[in-house]
Amino acid sequence: MKNIIQHINKAFDHRIRLGIMSILMVNESADFNTLKELLGVTDGNLASHAKALEAEEYIAIEKQFIGKKPNTSYKATKLGKKAFQEHIEALEKLIRKS
Amino acid sequence: MEAKDYLKDIQDIKEMMSKSTQFISLSGLAGILAGIYALIGAYIVNQLISNHSSYYVTLESKTFKLILLTAVIVLVLSIVSAYILTAQKAKKQNEKVWNASSKRLLANFSIPLITGGILILLLLKNGSYGLIAPMTLIFYGLACVNASKYTFRDIKYLGITEIILGLFAVQFSGYVLVFWILGFGVCHILYGSIMYFKYERN
């Protein structure tokens, strides 16, 4: 049991961070507005949770200009994908146990 | 510990993964309408052919041009209705019509369809138009199968049905209009209704 709990990742223990990772697992990248629309969150909220995931190096943030508009896009890193995979597996095991 | 929360987490993950890759505002009603337009179009084409004086319908004949015009009108009406109904449904579901998943859907739908379109134009140019009608069914079917990964799975079965009908139409080339009616008319109404009752009626 202890072993499983170890794999429950605190970084994903929030609906928005879980959402961001889920989207980035199945999409090569997603920009700020797409994430905002899908998750139904405010700018500030999304930015702070994205920053938290970036601090763990689970996602990479890329800023560029499309014309005059700044565009921020997000990508899951290899580390992030591996961590998320383990998180899902741990969740599944926990559900099966109970 | 709270197994329910973990279950909820898994559900959230699944929902976000499918929501971010699939466009779910596609309207079943649009399919039904496209089917009805196709049936009306087929009726007009049938009238045109029975009024045609000679046995063969050649490319230069007025009949052929009228048939082509009918097909184009059916196509344009179908696309316009699909767009309007889909935009309406998207608004209801708080989804944007023009987002990453609808763009992906359109791109994957267009690749087989445009390939088929160009091929048909080339065949027309070379005067070999025997296989054109079945090919519209086959390429449309391939487009549906290809696009189905990015929207409702039902589209995949529509696509497979169209491909099979197209192949039959090659074998039984005398009944091309019948296969067209089945493929573009009946199938659209059938699958459109299935989608409508499954996802929209509430």
Whole-angstrom CA distances from B95 to A40, B26, B100, B106 are 11, 11, 11, 16
Residue B158 CA, distance from chain mean position: 8
B7 contacts A38? CB cut-off 8 A: no
On whether any CB of chain A is under 8 Å from the CB of B197, the answer is: no
Residue A44 is predicted with a pLDDT of: 93
- Candidates B6, B20, B23: best to mutate against A (most CBs of A within 10 A) is B20
Closest of B32, B77, B35 to residue B196, by C-alpha: B32
- Residue A42: how many CB atoms within 10 A of its CB? 10
A38 contacts B20? CB cut-off 8 A: yes
Return the amino acid letter for B45. Answer: V
Contacts of B99 in chain A (CB under 8 A): 34, 37
Which positions 176-195 of B are in contact with A (Cβ < 8 Å)?
none
Cα torsion A11, A23, A41, A50: sign: positive
Q: Is A31 exposed, middle or buried (0-12, 13-18, 19+ CB in 10 A)?
A: middle
Asked whether the predicted pLDDT for residue A7 surpasses 80, the reply is no
What's the rounded Cα separation, in Å, for the pair B105 and A23? 17
In tens, the pLDDT along B4-45 reads 678 888 888 988 898 888 888 889 999 999 999 999 999 999
Q: Has the ipTM of the complex gone over 0.90?
A: no
Residue A6 is predicted with a pLDDT of: 66
- Candidates B10, B11, B16: best to mutate against A (most CBs of A within 10 A) is B16
Domain residue spans in chain A? 2-93
Contacts of B102 in chain A (CB under 8 A): none
Residue A2 is predicted with a pLDDT of: 56
Under the banding of pLDDT at 50, 70 and 90, the label for residue B166 is very high
DSSP A67-93: TTEEEEEEEE-HHHHHHHHHHHHHHHH
Residue B3 is predicted with a pLDDT of: 59
Which positions 29-48 of A are in contact with B (Cβ < 8 Å)?
30, 34, 37-40
CB pairs under 8 A between A and B: 51
In tens, the pLDDT along B129-160 reads 788 889 999 999 999 999 998 999 899 999 99
In tens, the pLDDT along B43-94 reads 999 999 888 877 777 777 888 889 889 999 999 999 999 999 999 998 888 7
Return the amino acid letter for B59. Answer: L
* A59/chain B closest Cα distance in angstroms: 16
In tens, the pLDDT along B179-193 reads 999 999 999 999 999
- Residue B33: how many CB atoms within 10 A of its CB? 21
Residue B142 is predicted with a pLDDT of: 97
**Option in A23, A39, A91 nearest B10 (CB):** A91
Domain spanning A2-93 has what CATH number? 1.10.10.10
Q: How is residue A37 written in tokens?
A: 């629309």
Maximum Cα interatomic distance, chain B, rounded to a whole number of Å: 81
Residue B171 is predicted with a pLDDT of: 94
Side-chain-side CA neighbours of B88 within 13 Å: the count stands at: 11
- Candidates A8, A21, A23: best to mutate against B (most CBs of B within 10 A) is A23
On whether any CB of chain B is under 8 Å from the CB of A18, the answer is: yes
In tens, the pLDDT along A48-78 reads 999 999 999 999 999 888 888 888 999 999 9
DSSP chain B: --HHHHHHHHHHHHHHHHHHH------HHHHHHHHHHHHHHHHHHHHHHHH-SSSS--TTSHHHHHHHHHHHHHHHHHHHHHHHHHHHHHHHTT--SSSHHHHHHHHHHHHHHHHHHHHHHHHHHTT--TTHHHHHHHHHHHHHHHHGGGS-THHHHHHHHHHHHHHHHHHTGGGHHHHHIIIIIIHHHHHHHHHIIIII--
Residue A76: strand pairing partners? A59
On whether any CB of chain B is under 8 Å from the CB of A61, the answer is: no
Mean pLDDT over A39-46 rounds to 92
Asked whether the predicted pLDDT for residue A1 surpasses 80, the reply is no
What's the rounded Cα separation, in Å, for the pair B48 and B62? 10
Radius of gyration of chain B from Cα atoms?
20
Which positions 4-63 of B are in contact with A (Cβ < 8 Å)?
6-7, 9-10, 12-14, 16-17, 19-21
User: Position of tokens 């929207």?
Assistant: B151
pTM: 0.80
